[in-house]
Structure 1
């Protein structure tokens, strides 16, 4: 049973801006065939949209583990999570970032949650995860960690 679940969908502006591939494809293929240009434009745009949808990772918290994308960590090996928004989130993703940290960040999702890793054999000192609901994710993570 999931205590928390979030899919990091691409922002709407990304779907709109990638639609520029449509006129570009038509422009390139129009001298050859307008029909080919339209078909290629539609196929390319649908391919981009498909990649954006399929490439959207999921964050899940259960009673025993945190899963972010394809990685999972038992909650017993996590410390107290912290939420960062605005300028603080920018600093965590930039100047304060430890190169050894495990990252699941998306440019279109600004807030992040920092989850310390307590496992001495894990080379990552913490996980940094983008989320649209940082306070809720922190609350669920910390409550689940303390109850397990």
Structure 2
């Protein structure tokens, strides 16, 4: 760990489903429960409740966390030391579409959720890493970009990066 880095979490968020996603979870559970009601109403209620529990658990488990902690960016299951990253650039919905559009590099690591409007793109400076950049959804992209800047070593290594785009 670098001397200027602490073990405190600089940024943490979970990319939960939006309101529409949660309504699909509830609606799916209701449909499953209602489909069993003709057999027996009590069983239908139980099946619907069990389906709701399983669907909520699946939504929670499949919602990735985005953290900047101990000098490392974690997005879902992937992680990279911030010392290997250039300056973070905040993207709005149109910026995300452009970053994924024609001419984009298929090697870019993407941790995206369609229901989240903002994102951060950051160039990977490590010449040994085949991934040219990371594109990460965030409900608070300004805070994520600031956390990445704050966690970066102050030796100037990453300060020479160019912005993507």
Give TM-score, length-normalised by structure 1. 0.89
Is residue 50 of structure 1 aligned with residue 54 of structure 2?
no
1:1-148 alignment, distance < 5 Å: 1-95=8-102, 97-147=104-154
Distance 1:80 1:51, change over 3 A: same
Shift of 1:105: 0.5
Give every structure 1 segment of 4 or more consecutive aligned residues whose post-TM-superposition deviation is greater than 2 Å.
93-97
* Distance change (3 Å), C-alpha of 1:96 and 1:54: same
Task: Please state whether the residue corresponding to 2:136 is helix, strand or coil.
Answer: strand
Q: CA deviation at 1:144?
A: 2.1
Structure 1 pair 115–129 and aligned structure 2 pair: CA distance change class (3 A): same
User: Following TM superposition, by how much is the alpha carbon of 1:52 offset from its aligned partner in structure 2, in angstroms?
Assistant: 1.0
- TM normalised by structure 2 equals 0.81
Structure 2 contact 16–63 (Cα < 8 Å) conserved: yes
Question: Retained in 2: the 8 A contact 1:25–1:38?
Answer: no
The structure richer in helix per residue is 1
SS in 2 for 1:136: helix
RMSD of Structure 2 on Structure 1 (CA) = 1.8
Q: CA deviation at 1:129?
A: 0.2
What SS does the corresponding residue of 2:73 show, helix, strand or coil? Answer: strand
Q: Aligned with 2:134: secondary structure?
A: strand
Q: How many residues get paired? A: 148
Extract unaligned runs of 5+ from structure 1: none
SS at match of 2:67: strand
Give, in whole Å, the separation in 2 of the partners of 1:6 and 1:147: 25
Q: Check conservation: 1:90, 1:110, Cα contact below 8 A.
A: no
